[in-house]
Every structure is written in structure tokens, then in C-alpha cells.
């Protein structure tokens, strides 16, 4: 019944003697809570707090976070005598036959103000060595299913991605020929575009981040996923081992990185649609259209701009 997730693209995997996440056939994702590692306890505390906080809008919780079902003690597959508590989460890829998945760690900095000097130095080095400091986010892993199989760059290769590589990966991710040059971006409109697409979801999430001062999501990721053919793109926040209390301050680090990702995705979408020529006018394609369409979901400030208004 329990098995290793097949489509994990980043994060801890099970090793010999090291417990990793498990999934069942009912849509659950079990993440081990190692008692000797405070990160698990911290992530559990976050889920508990987040799912009971009335200030978090229901739509945000249900749209952008895995559902949470407490904890459960489970045997470890390779060491059935060993029982370990697990977080009971939603398997975000449940129901997808051939999922295309990307893990994007958001924020120019992954260290938090109260971090130890050692942890801080380690994060800072990673942020400067990766695209995080420069671009405001980095890709931690991805896989694309296409007609002739699965394309999944090696973890060590992804770790060395430059800004150019990241831009390219965001194109490969929505291409039917991810391993060719240039990637065709054939699924740009169906995955990134449209009123239920990734860009529209990113903009809705951005609206919440412009306002919320409850949590700071250090080192968290956005999981972007869709099934073969571009069906049902999903955008979810994951990995909350380093979420801190917001203390009345917005999460400007996450928000800045999110805006940078939005800009990159917008550009790909605009390029793809320019290349495709005129399209159905009902398809909402531009950032401005989508922001307008987000409507009530966005607690937009309606201050009249001066006559020098932005266009």
C-alpha cells in the first residue's frame, strides 16, 4: 500500500537507513518527522498553526497549500521494525498519470534573521552560488513527461543552473520537446496562460503576499505541476521547515522572488503568443488582464492614479 513517490524532483529522498516520504493509493503524502531533527517539529507546528488561523483566507489555504491531516506513526519500508511519526499531507500529484513537475525555491535569501551563524553562512553561500540572490528564486528540480519518455535533468546539473538555464528550464517545462533546442513552448498557453493557468494563480498568490504579515516563508518552494497535455495546472507552496512568524511585516523576500518569477513566466507567455499569432480574444493572456480578472480575490488598492498614470 505505502510506496516511495515516483515523481519527486527535489527534497530529501529515502536512502539506505534514511527514511523518505511515502504515498498511499488514496492521495496521501507522508513526510517523516525525524525526532532528532527540529525541522520536522517546526514544519508540524507551522501546519497546525496555519490550518487553524482564521486570518488565513479559506481560498488561499485551499488553492495554494497541501491539505493537512495531522500526524500518523508508520513503519519504515526497509526497516519495518522502525516506527516513525509522519506528517499526513496531500499528495499533490495524485491523479496525474504523467506529471510534469517543477520545484522552485522562492526568495533571494533563504536564511532567516534568527538563524545561527553557521546556518546563515551556509544559506548565504548557496544563495550567492545559485540564482537565488540574483534572480530572487532558484529551480531545485524538474521533470517533464513527453511523447518519448521522461526528461529529468540530474540534481547536480540543476544545482549549477545559471539565470539563462533557469529561463530555459521554464521554457522546457512547457514544451513537448524539452530536450531539444529550441524547446517549442507548445503548452505555454494551456499551462502558464488562461484564467486558471499558472500565471493567474501566481498573481492571486501575489495579492495575498502583498497583504499578509502572518508568516515569512524562508526556504519554501512553489511546486508547479500539470498532467500530460497541459491539463489542470497546479501551484502549491511546500516545505515549511523554516517558516517564521511575520510579526506584522510582509514577507518582502518571498514577494520579491514571486514577482521575479511572474515576470519570467509572463515573458515566456507573451513570446509564445506572439509566435502563435492572433488568438481567441476570450483567452486572458496578459498580466494586466489576469490581474483584472482576479477581481475580488485581490484586495486591490483602488487609489486613483495621477494623470501621469501607469500603462
Within positions 255 to 274, which residues make up the interface with a second copy, using CB under 8 A?
A: 255-257, 259-260, 262-263, 266
Residues 6+ apart with CB under 8 A from 294: 200, 203, 204, 207
Of residues 103 and 291, the one with the C-beta less far from a second copy? 291
Q: Are 148 and 164 in contact (CB under 8 A)?
A: no
Establish if 306 lies at the interface with a second copy (CB under 8 A): yes
CB–CB of 70/221 below 8 Å? no
Does 207 interact with a second copy (rule: CB under 8 A)?
A: yes
Rule CB under 8 A: which of 57-86 touch a second copy? 57, 59, 62-63, 70-71, 73, 85
Name the residue with cell 503524502.
29
By CB under 8 A, residue 125 contacts a second copy: no
Instruction: Tell me how far, at minimum, the Cβ of 102 lies from a second copy, in Å.
Output: 19
Residue 15, classed as helix, strand or coil, is strand
Helix (H, G, I), strand (E, B) or coil at 280: coil
Asked whether the beta carbons of 68 and 12 are under 8 A apart, the reply is no
- Positions 18 through 57 that interact with a second copy (CB under 8 A): 33, 35, 40-41, 44-46, 48-49, 53, 55, 57
300 contacts a second copy (rule: CB under 8 A): yes
3-state secondary structure of 84: strand
Q: How far is the CB of 143 from a second copy (least distance, A)?
A: 25
Rounded Cα distance, 11 and 292, in Å: 36
Q: Which residue in the set 154, 157, 160, 311 belongs to the binding site for a second copy (CB under 8 A)? A: 311
Q: Which of 21, 99, 136, 230 binds a second copy (CB under 8 A)?
A: 136
Which residue among 161, 208, 217, 218 contacts a second copy (CB under 8 A)?
208
Q: Is 218 in the site for a second copy (CB under 8 A)?
A: no
d(CA 109, CA 270): 29
Q: Which is nearer to a second copy, 2 or 134 (CB)?
A: 134
- Whether the Cβ atoms of residue 238 and residue 12 lie closer than 8 Å to each other: no
Shortest distance, position 107 Cβ to a second copy, whole Å: 9
Contact present, 126 and 160 (Cβ < 8 Å)? no
The answer to whether 287 contacts a second copy (rule: CB under 8 A) is yes
Q: What is the DSSP letter of 184?
A: -
Alpha helix locations (H) across 51-174? 58-64, 117-129, 132-135, 155-159, 163-172
Return the number of the residue (61 or 228) whose C-beta is nearest a second copy: 61
- Regarding 231 and contact with a second copy (CB under 8 A), the answer is no
**Is residue 221 within the footprint of a second copy (CB under 8 A)?**
no
Bridge partners of 223? 103, 236
Answer yes or no whether residue 115 interacts with a second copy by CB under 8 A.
no
Cα–Cα distance, 103 to 192 (Å, whole number) = 15
Does 210 bind a second copy (CB under 8 A)? Our answer is yes
By CB under 8 A, the residues from 159 to 198 that bind a second copy are 163, 195-197
Contacting range for a second copy; rule: CB under 8 A; set: 91-99, 172-180, 222-230, 247-255: 247-255
Instruction: Tell me how far, at minimum, the Cβ of 147 lies from a second copy, in Å.
Output: 30
For the chain, what is the largest distance between any 2 Cα atoms, rounded to a whole number of angstroms? 71
Amino acid at each position: 500500500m505505502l510506496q516511495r513517490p515516483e515523481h519527486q524532483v527535489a527534497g530529501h529522498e529515502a536512502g539506505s537507513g534514511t527514511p523518505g516520504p511515502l504515498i498511499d493509493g488514496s492521495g496521501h503524502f507522508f513526510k517523516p518527522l525525524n525526532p532528532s531533527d527540529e525541522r520536522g517539529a517546526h514544519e508540524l507546528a507551522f501546519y497546525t498553526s496555519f490550518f487553524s488561523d482564521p486570518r488565513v483566507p479559506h481560498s488561499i489555504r485551499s488553492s495554494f497549500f497541501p491539505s493537512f491531516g495531522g500526524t500518523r506513526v508508520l513503519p519504515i519500508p526497509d526497516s519495518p521494525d522502525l516506527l516513525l511519526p509522519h506528517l499526513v499531507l496531500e499528495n499533490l500529484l495524485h491523479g496525474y498519470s504523467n506529471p510534469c513537475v517543477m520545484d522552485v525555491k522562492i526568495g533571494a535569501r533563504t536564511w532567516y534573521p534568527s538563524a545561527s551563524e553557521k546556518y546563515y553562512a551556509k544559506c548565504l553561500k548557496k544563495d550567492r552560488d545559485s540564482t537565488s540572490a540574483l534572480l530572487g528564486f532558484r529551480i531545485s528540480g524538474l521533470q517533464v513527461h513527453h511523447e518519448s519518455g521522461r526528461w529529468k535533468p540530474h540534481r547536480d546539473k540543476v544545482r549549477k543552473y545559471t539565470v539563462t538555464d533557469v529561463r530555459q528550464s521554464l521554457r522546457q517545462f512547457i514544451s513537448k520537446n524539452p530536450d531539444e533546442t529550441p524547446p517549442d513552448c507548445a503548452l505555454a498557453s494551456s499551462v502558464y496562460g488562461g484564467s486558471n493557468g499558472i500565471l493567474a494563480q501566481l498573481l492571486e498568490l501575489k495579492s495575498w503576499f502583498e497583504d499578509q504579515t502572518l508568516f515569512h516563508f524562508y526556504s519554501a518552494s512553489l511546486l508547479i505541476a500539470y498532467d500530460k497535455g497541459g491539463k489542470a495546472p497546479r501551484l502549491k507552496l511546500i516545505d515549511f521547515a523554516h517558516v517564521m512568524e511575520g510579526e506584522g511585516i510582509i514577507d518582502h523576500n518571498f514577494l520579491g522572488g514571486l514577482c521575479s518569477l511572474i515576470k519570467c513566466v509572463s515573458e515566456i507567455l507573451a513570446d509564445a503568443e506572439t509566435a502563435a499569432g492572433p488568438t481567441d480574444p476570450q483567452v486572458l493572456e496578459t498580466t494586466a488582464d489576469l490581474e483584472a480578472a482576479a477581481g475580488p480575490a485581490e484586495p486591490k488598492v483602488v487609489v486613483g492614479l495621477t494623470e501621469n498614470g501607469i500603462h
